[in-house]
A and B are shown apart, each in its own frame.
Chain A
Amino acid sequence: MKYTIMINEGPYQHQSADSALQFTRALLEKGHEVFRVFFYHDGVNNGTRLSVPPGDDRLIQKEWSELAKEHELDLVICIAAAQRRGLMDADEAKRQGLDADNIIEGFRISGLGQLIEGGIQSDRTIVFGD
């Protein structure tokens, strides 16, 4: 089956960020197709490369980044939600006149239309949130 995953909560703060990662991994292991993973609300923080949790803890953002590389996943961060919360890629930082960007490799920033398109194109849309 073809899936779109929506993630609405931030890493470490909320279990749903881990559940989404584990669910996506399980889908791929079972041979399903992941059309898109869309990050919204505080979920956009799953795409920062500046998280430094204690050394004995998981690094959720890096796990997404590696999973994306391995399976060519389309990880999309909502631009409107990202702008509110200070998530930037290099192009957006330049456009806003800001001096830094912080997106981890494997993620891209785009609009909410990507979520709706995911819903239309996929057999199942699964939301992870509070």
Chain B
Amino acid sequence: MATKKFMFVNRKAPYGTVYALESLEVVLIAAAFDQDISLAFIDDGVYQITKGQDTTGIGQKNFSNAYKALGDYDISKMYVEKESLEERGLTPDDLMNLVWEDEDDDYKEKSSIILVNREEMAAVMAEQEVTLSF
């Protein structure tokens, strides 16, 4: 089957609504189809990949570790919008350490997080062939 550029745009906080969790389920299926996948985190979506999430108070499953596993599915492009972080008082240090192993570079661990500004994010989005927003 053909390979297309798929982008998953994550715009919502990880809890409060089911969008983030169900988006992740689509991402994992898309990976199984060997597509060229990237993820975008904008607006409250940046909270999906923040460190130290604790869901004990709301009685829901904490699925944040699933983002760390994406590197094992060859998903290595996670675009995070700088303005969205700044507007929420967050810095890149507040994000989880998301990595992938580069098999062309002696399996060196590399960061999957690509910080971009709003204009750069728009340019990355314009390159995509299939954009699914959640």
A116 touches B29 (CB 8 A): yes
Q: Mark B102-134, 1 if CB is under 8 A from A, else 0.
A: 000000000000000000000000000111111
Does A27 touch B at the CB level, under 8 Å? Answer: no
A127 touches B133 (CB 8 A): yes
Does B79 touch A at the CB level, under 8 Å? Answer: no
Does B58 touch A at the CB level, under 8 Å? Answer: no
Looking at chain B, what size class is its interface with the partner chain? Answer: 20 to 34
CA distance A112 to B28 in the complex (A): 10
B132 touches A41 (CB 8 A): no
Known contacts A41-B19, A119-B4; A111 and B133 CB within 8 A of each other? no
Query: Chain A residues near B18 (CB, 8 Å)?
Result: 41, 84
What's the minimum C-beta distance from A83 to chain B, rounded to whole angstroms? 12
Query: Chain B residues near A125 (CB, 8 Å)?
Result: 130-132
A113 touches B133 (CB 8 A): no
Known contacts A40-B22, A120-B35; A127 and B132 CB within 8 A of each other? yes
Interface size on A, residues (CB 8 A): 19
Closest to A115 in B: B26
Does A81 touch B at the CB level, under 8 Å? Answer: yes
Does A129 touch B at the CB level, under 8 Å? Answer: yes
Closest to B4 in A: A120
Query: Chain A residues near B47 (CB, 8 Å)?
Result: none
Closest to B19 in A: A41
Query: Chain A residues near B22 (CB, 8 Å)?
Result: 40-41, 80-81
B134 touches A129 (CB 8 A): yes
- Cβ < 8 Å to A, chain B residues 24-76: 25-26, 29-30, 32-33, 35
What's the minimum C-beta distance from A96 to chain B, rounded to whole angstroms? 19
A113 touches B32 (CB 8 A): yes
Does A17 touch B at the CB level, under 8 Å? Answer: no
Q: Mark B12-26, 1 if CB is under 8 A from A, else 0.
A: 000000110010011
What's the minimum C-beta distance from A14 to chain B, rounded to whole angstroms? 12
CA distance A113 to B29 in the complex (A): 6
List 14 contacting pairs A-B, 8 Å CB cutoff, sorted by A: A40-B22, A41-B19, A41-B22, A80-B22, A111-B29, A115-B29, A115-B132, A117-B33, A120-B1, A120-B33, A120-B35, A125-B130, A127-B133, A129-B133
Contact surface of A with B, Cβ cutoff 8 Å: 6, 8, 40-41, 80-81, 84, 111-113, 115-117, 119-120, 125, 127, 129-130
